[in-house]
Structure 1
Amino acid sequence: MNDIIIILLAGFTTGITTVLFGFGGGFIVVPFVYHIVAGPPGLSPHAMHIAVATSTAVMVFNAGWASVQSGRAGRLNTAVLFPLVWFIAAGAVGGSLLAALLKDELVRALFILYLIITLADCLMRKGFITRPQPRKLSGTTVRLGGIFIGVVAALLGVGGSVMTVPLLRRHGHEMRDCVSAANPLSIPVAVCGAVTYSLAGLHAVPAPGYSGFISLKILVLLTASGFCGMLFTRRCIPAVPDVLHARIYVILLLAVLMAMAI
């Protein structure tokens, strides 16, 4: 029962962060699922793969719904989304295949390392907390940056928001616009990751209720509670000022780093 309550709270929080920060699952879901499945002996050897796989599946629903809502509100900038989304999708295929070859503890270590690098970049380099002058993404950034985002995001199950938000922010976009773009840019990562983990984990987890490495029970609970969290955010939480929005983003990254490291 305690685990179910934890999952529901994590899902509800994920729904909130999806709308406010473009985090469709990874940074909230991965630490919670990891700690839940790391205990049982049969699941512990695959705990990180289960957490990442389930996270990517959750992101398909969360990022998809948030993208539809942003599209209806006219907040999606197609000039930013294309062709970046295609290069992220290409990278996501490679990242998903690579993740299936890595050991569980290595994926966890990479997850923590990536959080540290992202936090240091946001805090130590100018251009994130305070928005710079708008400028267009270069062709090299779109191609190489998009592939890199796709590989890392699919490998770690974090979606693309943790990289696309800082990238777009440093090119002069408001946090609201960065988040609106982050959700559709996370969809190819989520789809590629979910399919790959489902196939790569066939017969690997000695427990019922799994599609490969994806926990179907946790997926349903997270998706349902996440939907409630997104509705709550849309209707009850007012717009956040731009600079405060950026600062909360950094604080959230730090909280997840501490949870995963401990």
Structure 2
Amino acid sequence: MEDISLVSLALLAGALLATGVVAGIIAGLLGVGGGIVIVPVLYYMFSGLGIDQDVLMHLAVGTSLATILATGTSSARAHWKRGSVDVDLLKSWWWAIALGVIGGATLAGNLSGGALTLIFGVVALVVSANMLLRKEGSAIAEKLPGSPFKELMGLLIGGISVMMGIGGGTLGVPTLTLFSYPIRKAVGTAAAIGLIIAVPGTLMSIYFGWEAEGRPPFSLGYVNLIGFFLIIPASTYAAPLGAKIAHTIAPSKLKLIFALFLGFTGLRMIYDVMM
């Protein structure tokens, strides 16, 4: 997409606006947010626009991380005001998560687009299986393990999340609840973890993609600025519609829908890479 035309710009803007709307509806419907919805939608939107496969997934991940800077800040602030952020845990865990982010972002910057897509697909399948098979309220321990296992978990959460372009909720919430964290505390703390992931993750996406070829117009490294400025307001506007629909569907069915959405997305991405 090196030859920029008004038509290509209009198609790009329209696709990214649609991404925000779809992501907002799904986020409101299923009670999730951030990259776990935005990345796969961006992936297929960019693919449909003919963007180079070498940078396709990197762009989806980088742009998603940038949107989390805005949405994650709002979410973390709201949870902070409600007292649902475990500050003590963050003080002891933030450096391990940040180190994992730096390592994961460095690895992602040197991986092929296919490898990055494969990672997202596999982890999406694991998360989907966890949602389908894990019993409500089940836990493996009454509290998080001590060092060095707690730090290792932080490294993995940060590293895997940044490679997938997601915030702290997808991996952080199930991890914390496995160790008997109350769900609201887990969600609030995970929102704050999302910022620890998104800030260095976005900066490193810009750095590693600075001279990459095949990017769409108005891209700052692997962060597409048109996507950043269109997805945030569109998803914010569309989320209440999804939430309204959610009130007409049983929570168990919503969980099933999201698990199936993730499972299908993961399988499709793996298929795209293998074929």
What is the TM-score normalised by the length of structure 1? 0.83
CA distance 1:250–1:181, change in 2 (3 Å): farther
- Hey, what does 1:166 align to over in structure 2? 174
> Where do 1:80-99 residues align within 5 Å?
80-99=89-108
The alpha-carbon deviation at position 158 of structure 1 amounts to 2.0
Contact 1:76–1:180 under 8 Å retained in 2:
yes
Point out 4+ residue stretches in structure 1 off by more than 6 angstroms: 235-239
Deviations 1:157-215 (A, max 9, x none): 12232211111111222332221111101111111211111111113144421001111
Q: CA deviation at 1:57?
A: 0.7
- Whether the aligned pair in 2 keeps the contact of 1:50 and 1:214 (CA below 8 Å) is yes
- When Rg is computed on C-alpha atoms for both structures, the one with the higher figure is 2
Q: CA deviation at 1:156?
A: 1.6
Which residue in 2 is equivalent to 1:187? 195
**Corresponding position: 1:138 with 2:145:** yes
- 1:256 maps onto 2:268 in alignment: no
CA RMSD of aligned residues (A): 2.9
TM-score between both structures, scaled by the size of structure 2: 0.79
Unaligned runs of 5+ in 2: 1-10, 269-275
1:12 to 21, 24, 28: 24
Shift of 1:26: 1.2
Secondary structure in 2 matching 1:47: helix
Q: Displacement, 1:131?
A: 4.2
Amino acid at match of 1:258: F
CA distance in 2, matches of 1:181, 1:209: 34
Distance of 2:89 and 2:244 partners within structure 1: 29
Taking the TM superposition and a 5 Å limit, the aligned residue runs for 1:1-262 are 3-13=15-25, 16=28, 20-21=31-32, 23=33, 25-125=34-134, 128-132=135-139, 135-140=142-147, 141-206=149-214, 207-228=216-237, 232=240, 244=251, 248-249=254-255, 251-262=257-268
Number of aligned residue pairs: give it: 251
8 Å contact kept, 1:33–1:51 = yes
| Most deviating of 174-183 and 92-101 | 174-183
Amino acid at match of 1:255: F
